[in-house]
Amino acid sequence: MWNDTLSKIHLALYNLTIVIAAITLPLGYSQSKEYAELEWPIDLLIVVWYVIFFANYLMTVIKRKEEQMYVAIWFYIASFVTVPLLFIVNNIVIPAGFLKSYSVYAGVFDANIQWWYGHNAVAFVLTTPFLGLMYYYLPKHIKQPIYSHRLSIIHFWSLIFIYIWAGPHHLLYSPIPEWLQTTGMVFSIMLWMPSWGGMLNGFLTLTQAKDKIKVDATLKMMLAAVTFYGMSTFEGPLLSIRAVSALGHNTDWIIGHVHSGTLGWVGFMSAAALYYLVPRLWNSNLYSEKLANAHFWLGTLGILLYIISMWVSGITEGSMWRAVGENGELVYKDWVEIVEFLKPFRLFRAIGGTLYLTGIILMVYNFIKTIQNKDSGFVEQDLRIGVKS
């Protein structure tokens, strides 16, 4: 980076924010807005370290020696430019004490701003930066170029243009104007195209090392991550269709959808990047490829148990809410009756989450043992087709 001191200050302030949030939220200090719960002094702290982060990153890009910017950097720049705009606009409040405030927005306008922010926070915190990881670490790991640089450019610009308009799909059947709901739905459906363009670019890049997927845990995780990205970006537009949203909204289906993206796409892509970095940073081969494979299989099984149970639970839940008898009355009037019926699905969710967490613990142990063996010499594996490792 351009300035190591700024990096250290950023890290310290970021961790301080996490600690303060972990203390204030359980005590009930909250703005009561999804993805924007933290009160205004903490928001100001976030702005401070984000400015430091952005300045350091921007200067690193400006001072670069390579004239052409690779597409991975484009995705990161999109995140760094968009996130502060979203965060500041949504968190404009009137302070009413040190840990109390009131939003300057109200009613339908507040809801619209909130989900313009909420949807795009997912887009520019959990999607575009991790697409940057895919476009960088996947080619680096297999020592082959991305399948199509042109497709990556189309993927970038179409995704950036369309994503920002899709927020109103969170507010279907709400008091916001009908035309705005329709706009959100249409742009959400359009997101299928650029999202799957990126997914296909990832898959086709992986075909250049397809023979090594069965023996390399990092490649397995990249393959799984791209797969879950495709699943999640198919399901999101599907859920934005009014008729589907009427069934799925506020049910466990939404939880399954979100976690296929966060655990599968974000989690596995992050793990793959770490499996690439840690041995190289500490100049040591990975302690155990078997443990890495165990992490992959535990994580994959955990995600599948988690999201499939939530899909079934959500569709069942939505159907029970809507069930009407011959006399026109609701069949399930007692909400607790529905909760009792859904208990087995939520048990499977807990089992899936436990398996996923177990995989992460194995990864941490693997990294600790790798770091303990630092400077023993890292041997690069060549994953290209036809090259023996």
Q: What is the pLDDT of residue 389?
A: 52
Q: Is residue 86 part of a domain?
A: yes
Flag the least confident range among 110-119, 135-144, 176-185, 370-379.
370-379
Residue where a domain stops, chosen among 146, 177, 206:
146
Structure confidence by residue, pLDDT tens digits, 7-27: 999 999 999 999 999 999 999
pLDDT average, residue stretch 117-135:
93
Q: Same structural domain for residues 253 and 363?
A: yes
Nearest Cα residue to 266 out of 126, 149, 375: 126
Rounded to 10°, the helix 217-240/192-206 angle is: 160
Give domain status of residue 121, yes or no. Answer: yes
Residues 191-221 have pLDDT tens digits of 999 999 999 999 999 998 888 888 899 999 9
- Give the per-residue pLDDT at 245: 95
- Domain match, 120 and 9 both: yes
Helix, strand, coil shares, percent, the chain, to 5: 75, 5, 25
Please determine, for residue 386, whether its predicted confidence score (pLDDT) is greater than 80. Answer: no
Distance of alpha carbon 342 from its chain centroid, rounded? 26
pLDDT, average across residues 127-153 = 93
CA distance 264 to 346: 19
133 lies in the same domain as 244: no
Mean predicted confidence (pLDDT) in 127-148: 93
pTM for this entry: 0.92
Q: What is the mean pLDDT of residues 35-62?
A: 93
Contact 231, 260 (CB under 8 A): yes
Q: Does a structural domain hold residue 176?
A: no
Residue 233 confidence (pLDDT) above 60: yes
The per-residue DSSP string of 223-251 comes to HHHHHHHHHHHHHHHHHHSHHHHHHHTTS
* Domain final position from 100, 125, 146: 146
Q: Work out the number of other CB atoms within 10 angstroms of the CB of residue 294.
A: 17
Considering the domain boundaries, does residue 211 fall inside one?
no
Residue ending a domain, choose from 146, 167, 183: 146
- As a whole number, mean pLDDT of residues 306-320 equals 96
The pLDDT-based confidence of 241 (bands split at 50, 70, 90) is very high
Average pLDDT over residues 236-244: 95
**pLDDT attached to residue 307:** 97
Summarize the confidence of residues 57-80 as an average pLDDT: 90
Q: What is the pLDDT of residue 261?
A: 94
Q: What is the dihedral of CA 282, 283, 284, 286, to 10 degrees?
A: 70
If you average pLDDT over every residue of the chain, what do you get?
93
Q: Are 119 and 255 in a shared domain? A: no
If one counts the domains in the chain, the total is 2
Q: Is residue 208 part of a domain?
A: no
User: pLDDT tens, 362-383?
Assistant: 999 999 999 999 888 778 776 6
Predicted pLDDT of residue 388: 57
What average pLDDT does this structure show over 295-301?
98
Q: Is residue 69 part of a domain?
A: yes
Phi–psi pair at 383, nearest 5 degrees: -100, 10
End-to-end CA distance of the chain: 33
371 and 250 part of one domain: yes
Question: Are residues 262 and 375 both part of a single domain?
Answer: yes
Residues 59-76 have a mean pLDDT of 90
Which of the four pLDDT bands, split at 50, 70 and 90, describes residue 69? Answer: confident
Q: What pLDDT score does 242 carry?
A: 94
For the CA atoms of 170, 199, 286, 141, what is the dihedral angle to 10 degrees?
-140
Rounded to 10 degrees, the C-alpha dihedral 382/384/386/387 comes to -10
Residue 230 lies in a domain: no
User: What confidence score (pLDDT) does residue 384 get?
Assistant: 63
Say how many C-beta atoms besides its own lie within 10 A of residue 250's C-beta: 11
DSSP assigned state of 69: P
Strand partners, 147: none
Instruction: Tell me whether residue 319 is in a domain.
Output: yes
Q: What is the DSSP letter of 91?
A: T
Structural domain for 67, as ranges: 1-146
Residue 377's pLDDT is 79
Judged against a pLDDT cut of 80, whether residue 146 lies above it is answered with yes
Q: What is the pLDDT of residue 337?
A: 93
Least confidently predicted of 131-135, 147-151, 206-210, 259-263: 206-210
Of the candidates 195, 181, 187, which has an alpha carbon nearest to the alpha carbon of residue 234? 195
Grouping H, G, I as helix, E, B as strand and the rest as coil, residue 138 is helix
Angle of helix 178-190 versus helix 192-206 axis, rounded to 10: 20
Q: Is the pLDDT of residue 101 over 60?
A: yes
